[in-house]
């Protein structure tokens, strides 16, 4: 069994060892939308063969106007309904 590892860095910057984790769990992640899907690829890269990627999200109904009024641009983030976007 692999040891438990916590990560408080950005997914891309953390440089976690590829294919090393039986379970990669991201709770309410804020994944920046990038042309190369870097954050999604970083999540997937950590999962060992036969392992599990578990994402817990709750932002399926984002009100873009309310976000913009608060100075937040939801268009910069990948949302639950967008799908994974990584191969």
Averaged pLDDT in 10-residue chunks for the chain of 87 residues: 62 82 84 84 91 78 69 65 50
38 phi, psi to nearest 5 deg: -60, -45
Looking at residue 45, its pLDDT comes to 92
> Distance between terminal CA atoms of the chain?
26
Q: What is the pLDDT of residue 85?
A: 46
Taking a C-beta distance cutoff of 8 angstroms, is the pair 32, 85 a contact?
no
* Residue carrying structure tokens 């999962």: 47
Phi, psi of 60 (to 5 degrees): -70, -30
Report domain extents, the chain: 19-79
Q: For residue 24, give the H/E element and its range.
A: strand 21-27
Query: What is residue 19's predicted lDDT score, i.e. its pLDDT?
Result: 93
pTM, rounded to two decimals: 0.62
Q: What pLDDT score does 37 carry?
A: 84
């Amino acid at each position: 069994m692999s040891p438990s590892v916590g990560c408080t860095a950005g997914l891309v910057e953390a440089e976690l060892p590829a294919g090393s984790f039986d379970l990669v769990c991201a709770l309410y992640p804020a994944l920046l939308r990038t042309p190369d899907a870097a954050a999604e690829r970083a999540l997937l890269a950590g999962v060992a063969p036969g392992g599990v990627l578990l994402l817990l999200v709750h932002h399926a109904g984002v009100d873009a106007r309310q976000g913009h009024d608060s100075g937040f641009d939801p268009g910069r983030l990948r949302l639950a309904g967008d799908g994974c976007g990584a191969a």
